[in-house]
Amino acid sequence: MPDDPRISRLFERLSGPVSLEMFESLTKDFDGLAQDRAETLAFFVMQNVCQRLASALEGEAADYSRFEELTSGIADGLRDIILGIRQDRIVTSELEQLVVKLIQNLGQYRA
């Protein structure tokens, strides 16, 4: 399958700095991709992970260490999934790992 330039751009953005704005933007991008790509489940899950992170951070001034707790490993997980999609691999295991990481991070963040 030919590479979608939108997916390439997402991969590049995930290599940059992590921020609330990035997760808000990714939420919109993943939503659009979920509606017009064959990998609906993968993009739907990634959209919801980004949305949950953005919601947890919204309206709250989190210090850097708390922000790191919440976002730790998420961008890497998203990159792994996007790389798998680009390589035409099944990414079910990576999706599950991403959701587990999100739940762990949210639990630590609220503690």
d(CA 87, CA 4): 12
d(CA 57, CA 20): 7
The DSSP secondary structure of 43-90, one letter per residue, reads HHHHHHHHHHHHHHHTT----HHHHHHHHTTHHHHHHHHHHHHHTT--
Q: Which two tokens stand for residue 94?
A: 């990576």
Whole-model pTM: value is 0.90
Each domain of the chain, given as residue ranges in start order, spans: 5-110
Q: State pLDDT tens for residues 38-83.
A: 899 999 999 999 999 999 887 766 678 888 888 999 999 999 999 9
Phi-psi region of 59 (alpha: psi -120 to 50; beta: other; left: phi over 0): left
